[in-house]
Amino acid sequence: MNKPLVAIQCLVYNHEPYLRDCLNGFVSQQTSFPFVAIVHDDASTDHSASIIQEYAEKYPNIIIPIYEKENLYRKPNGILMKTVHAALDKTGSKYIAICEGDDYWTDPLKLQKQIDILESDSDLIACVTNTCKVDKKGNLLEQKKENVVQGNKEGIYDIYDFFKMPQHQYPTATIVYRAIHQNEIRSKFRHTENPFLGDWTLWIILHSYGKFYYLDEVTAAYRTNPTSLTHTVNRVARAKASREICHNVADVLPEQYADIAADLRKTNWVWISLIFAYRAEKRYFGMFGSFIMAAILCPKVLWKTIKEALHKRSQH
């Protein structure tokens, strides 16, 4: 077949209940260009590998499977992503898309729409879209994610716009980005790699190489998977780790973004996050201590947070 224009990165681990939705989203894409999906099963203990094999046999020009006998996620030196990146590089694709095995695409024209946008503007490094939200059984929870960007306003966003966003986040399952500067980007990503905010650091690194286009259309479904790392991790540990993560991200930003790096190193706001984390875990002594530290180190941010919380409560 011709060299694919897009290579999809799909990481799978024990995604058997959801995997068919994910793979169906790939093979149903209607495009004017060839694309492939690198589907990496990290030694799942369920029947994920069998499902991947079924689709690889049925769609050999799209599904490229990788089966591990040992779980690479638990091994040191980032061997999991090195393996996946090597497979992506081998395709020679111009663009990379991401969708993990428990999420899925809902729009058969997703890739075509995003590639049309990226091909029309060389200043763009990536294109993202909106997403709906479903539960583990696929039942719709939210028709459309609110405020992915400010007011869900479609258009071009640079790194400064990113930090003005309500959540500083894009829907991971929707991204398509240019496969350029990959050695530099991956080196920086390894420096910032963490189990809590991996996607967040990737967005910032990509933004330092170009602008994003946000397409305000729902093209994918984000699944709230109760067994995923995001939902099982200790909230306090996540809040504490955010300080180191921010410093690591600041380290890899180019000199032209020294102002952003300086802001990232000012991590007194972590005490605000710890207040909510301790509260969620009903560890009130820690919550009170974090409140005292926030009142001392970042009183303006604390007062703003309190006012916003009171305003939301009054609306309900």
SS (H, E, C) 31-76: CCCCEEEEEEECCCCCCHHHHHHHHHHHCCCCEEEEECCCCCCCCC
**Does the pLDDT of residue 64 top 70, yes or no?**
yes
Closest CA to 267 of 254, 281, 285, 249: 249
Which of 57-66, 154-163, 168-177, 293-302 bottoms out in mean pLDDT, i.e. has the lowest? 293-302
Which of 172-181, 210-219, 231-240, 288-297 bottoms out in mean pLDDT, i.e. has the lowest? 231-240
pLDDT at 227: 56
Q: pLDDT tens, 74-121?
A: 887 789 999 999 999 999 999 999 999 999 999 999 999 999 999 999
Closest CA to 10 of 131, 96, 111: 96
Model confidence, pTM: 0.87
pLDDT at 225: 65
**Does the pLDDT of residue 256 top 80, yes or no?**
yes
**Does the pLDDT of residue 231 top 70, yes or no?**
no
Report d(CA 200, CA 193) in Å as an integer: 10
**Does the pLDDT of residue 220 top 60, yes or no?**
yes
The owner of tokens 């093209």 is 219
pLDDT at 297: 87
- The residues, ordered by sequence, that sit 6+ positions from 298 with a Cβ below 8 Å of its Cβ are 268, 269, 271, 272
Task: Give the CB-side neighbour count of residue 19, counting CA atoms within 13 A.
Answer: 24
**Does the pLDDT of residue 196 top 90, yes or no?**
no
Predicted confidence band of residue 141 (pLDDT cuts 50, 70, 90): very high
Q: Beta 63-67 vs 95-98: how paired, if at all?
A: unpaired
Mean pLDDT of 191-216: 88
pLDDT at 315: 67
